[in-house]
Copies of this chain bind each other. A is one copy, B any other.
Amino acid sequence: MKAEVFVTLKSGVLDPQGKVIARSLRALGFEEVRDVHQGKYMVIDLEGVAPEEARKRLDEMCQKLLANTVIENYRVRVEGAEEGNS
């Protein structure tokens, strides 16, 4: 079963990498770019768990390893289950 995890910086946390990407895009002529937020994206392949159980386990994975919940938010999407936020 495939799951996706999205990790983004909480609002208010400085995102210098996002700012550099935004500036670079505008310098390349994409003046419509107002802001960019850089995050992490993980595709996780799981076996032997049901979608709803997988959501709970992925939530634990984010808390323990995948996200730094002091400064980051995460979002989990599992094939066949409802989307969940932190």
Contact = CB atoms under 8 A, between A and B. Distances in A.
Interface of A: 6-8, 18, 21, 24-25, 28, 30, 32-49, 54, 57, 60-61, 64-66
A48 B32 contact: yes
A3 B23 CA distance: 17
A7 B54 CA distance: 24
A42 B37 contact: yes
A33 B41 contact: no
A45 B64 CA distance: 30
Contacts of A40: 38-41
15 contacts: A8-B41, A21-B66, A28-B61, A32-B54, A32-B57, A33-B45, A34-B45, A34-B46, A34-B47, A35-B44, A36-B42, A36-B45, A37-B44, A38-B42, A39-B40
